[in-house]
Structure 1
Amino acid sequence: MTTQTPSNPAPPREPGILTQSISSFGKGLIDGVSTLGGMMMLLLDVVRWSVRPPFRLANLFAQLDFVGVGSIFIVSLTGTFTGMVFALQTSTAFALFDAESLVGPTVALTLSRELAAVFSALMVTMRAGSAMCTELGTMRVTEQVDALETMAVNPVQYLLVPRVLAGLFMVPALTMLFLTTGMAGAYLIAVGVLGISPGTFLSRTQQWLVPGDIFQGLIKGAVFGLSVALICCYKGYNASGGAKGVGQATTEAMVSSALSIFILDFILGLLWQ
């Protein structure tokens, strides 16, 4: 009587490209929704702890100085050259139909409504947001956050509230600085280089630029600043995996912050119409 040896089972089939694509898309969608939900919960915690004593004003002023005062030079430099470049390019276009007098109001409207808030938020993201995420991530992986909890100090109130409020308050202020330096650069190019009359530049700008345009830029700056600070704090506060995890969290924070600025700019632009 002979016994038959069972045949070896067939190796499992590799999932196809379509299956892998759907799986990756679903995983990314779930991670995105989970991250968005976590940031909303963190925002609620920040709002709740920002109105509860003790009020740590020293931490708040330190972050206002870091985010706002520390960004003055880079925002001023970026604003000046942005205004200069934009004035130079628009003058070339307007010269085709003898409308160089519109250079001033065109630069003013573009900077006040869009570019000042967007570029200021991007500068804060690169300079202050990355530092926020790295600092919080380092504190998380070295268990300094756990030490605060052990000492009965709420880490959200002590670490996150000052940083989020600093982004909310200082990015609109930097937006005004960007607008001012941008118009100074545009004036320098239009009047000093292109030969446009100073009276024409200033009168046309005053004629077309209204307070509502500046107010729109300030509102956008506040929204962008809140978004950037919240994303960077969330990524850093939830970092894990040592030094590599901190670096990955910082990279994700920079990309997410930049994307949020452009997405929110589009949404606010639609709502403002």
Structure 2
Amino acid sequence: MNMLAEGLGWLVRKFLHTIFSYFLFVWEMFKNIPGAFLNFHTTVEQMQNVGITSIPVVFAASMATGAIMSWQLAYQFGDMIPMMFVGMAVGKSVMVELCPILTAMVLAGRIGASMCSELGTMAVTEQLDAYKVLGLNPYKFLLAPRLIATVIMIPVLTVLSIFIGIVGGYEVAHLYKEVSFSVFFYGVRMFYQNWDLIVGLIKATLYGYFIASYACFFGFTTHGGAEGVGRATKATVVAGMTSILIGGFVLSKLLLI
């Protein structure tokens, strides 16, 4: 019983220490954001890595999301509900919830893991120490640009994802349920509100912060060689996806009143 209590206490202390270290790390990273803008070419490089290279996977995920949503709605509605409500439901769902969260989940596995493993490898091979020896601030040159790039590019990718999701929903509804262009997009337009898009972009911005901050924190604090890089990468993906799901629910509760 004592061993169980000691083990539980050790886990709690480790968790609280990690949380405290994370907030100190984030504070240091935010302090170096102005300096990162002075070296904006590094941020542009990260924007390309985060955004441009992710377009194919975002395209595929968004098309599938819109298609599945449209098919299920058209099937469930059948002849009981006018087909314009398929367009309404697809537009609302992909704009407010599905595309922001699925885009973030895909990028948490792709960009978050890649970013963490890159920084973790630099940490265990003492490249981060070399930065400090040369008088270069790793927060300014390595970490803050990644945070800025991710927070900027995930909302941009989310807008693209929403457009592709709606188009994919229309294609499926038209091909398999013979829903016309005018009927489908009449439903999308009739129930559209600017606040829906704003909520989706707010969520995407928060998700970008989660992905980049966890990747930078766990990557920067990696130790223990190749095994440590694997542990840090796993922690980044788990923490990122968990925070995305919880954060999405909390924001929906706060913003969709």
Listed as ranges, the matches of 1:140-219 within 5 Å are 140-219=123-202
Task: Please give the secondary structure, in 2, of the residue aligned with 1:77.
Answer: helix
Q: Do structure 1's residue 29 and structure 2's residue 18 form an aligned pair?
A: no
In the alignment, structure 2 segments of 5+ residues that lack a partner are none
Q: Does 1:123 align with 2:106?
A: yes
Paired position in structure 1 for 2:89: 106
- Post-superposition CA distance 1:70-123 (Å, at most 9, x none): 100100110001100110001111116233321111011111111111111111
Match of 1:4 in 2: none
From 213, 228, 239, the counterpart of 1:230: 213
| Structure in which a larger fraction of residues adopt helix | 2
Give the Cα separation in 1 of the matches to 2:239 and 2:11. 14
Aligned residues: 256
Counting aligned pairs with the same residue, the percent is 29
Q: Does 1:39 align with 2:22?
A: yes
Q: Name the counterpart of 2:54.
A: 71
Q: What is the CA–CA distance in structure 2 between the aligned matches of 1:42 and 1:116, rounded to whole Å?
A: 30
Please give the alpha-carbon distance, in whole angstroms, between the structure 1 residues aligned to 2:63 and 2:143: 32
Distance 2:157 2:18 in 1: 28
Q: How high is the TM-score relative to the length of structure 1?
A: 0.90
| Structure with bigger gyration radius | 1
Cα distance in structure 2, aligned partners of 1:173 and 1:139: 29
- Structure 1: 5+ residue stretches without partners: 1-15
Select the residue among 196, 204, 223 that pairs with 1:240: 223
Provide the rounded CA distance (Å) in 1 between the counterparts of 2:7 and 2:100: 34
Cα RMSD, aligned residues only: 1.5
- The two structures have a TM-score, normalised by structure 2, of 0.95
